[in-house]
Structure 1
């Protein structure tokens, strides 16, 4: 079995990232190509791709804030990004459907958490759907209950991890 390689995103990864996003999220929730372009240009240090045999199979990306919850606008624009903020948010953790349930998401999340620690962040924040709460709890995330987020018209839960 090939070893997973995790690295920071490059601008030429854009199309692949967009394709995986469209396979992992409904259109109303998926980030736009424009949003990904902005995330890559503004904060590539918080955007990691996972490769198997030089093929991108997934990614995790985020931004930095001093807030304790993720504002919906943050999913659309990096205007809320504060480079030296206390907390890092996760916009999405995506694994191509052909590679799901093989532990790759866990490796990406662990890498992201470790990077947050090294960067001196206080917390990692995310929102997720109810069926994923237990998944994130295995990393130590705490469920704060139903989020005020209306992103994509879905019901979300706020979670945080103290690093």
Structure 2
């Protein structure tokens, strides 16, 4: 039986996080090491890793934004600096990235990370909504979000530089 543990990420986890990032996303979509280091140091509460048998096999990162009804596409730019948008007094949780190693997919670990992050952040911060983006091609991820009450709020056309320039679906959930 696998031993599963979720904890806050530390800078020491960066190699495993980058391995997951590179395995989860194509080269033109994965984010830089410096971005992940910045996320961990700026908002450690919002960056979790999932360990299976004491080995990091998944992560989820987030930011807290000031809520705006207007959805500004530039806020979702890949490799943006968390320090330009993050505010612990904000009321909207932005799920910036989630990844699971391929050999651990389809076991519910993504959902587990997502639910644990949501629980921890909403217990500690005054969050009234959550927002994220997902590629139109990532059907499994989209299904997790829909099953957790997220609805499509808008689309960003040709957002992902993934060979097909797929659209990003902006999904939002009010709490």
Calculate the TM-score normalised by the size of structure 2.
Answer: 0.85
Q: 1:4 to 1:57 in 2, by over 3 A?
A: same
Q: Distance in 1 between matches of 2:155 and 2:132?
A: 12
Q: 1:115 to 1:45 in 2, by over 3 A?
A: same
8 Å Cα contact 1:75/1:91 also seen in 2: no
Query: Which residue in the other structure is 2:146 paired with?
Result: 137
8 Å Cα contact 1:127/1:147 also seen in 2: no
Query: Which residue in the other structure is 2:62 paired with?
Result: 62
How many pairs does the alignment contain? Answer: 163
Query: Which residue in the other structure is 1:146 paired with?
Result: 155
Let me know the Cα RMSD of the aligned residues. Answer: 1.8
Give the match's secondary structure for 1:16.
helix
Give the match's secondary structure for 1:45.
helix
Whether 2:169 is the aligned partner of 1:160: answer no
Task: Using the TM superposition, give the Cα deviation of residue 133 of structure 1 relative to its aligned residue in structure 2, in angstroms.
Answer: 2.6
Whether 2:122 is the aligned partner of 1:114: answer no
Dislocated runs of 4+, deviation >4 Å: none
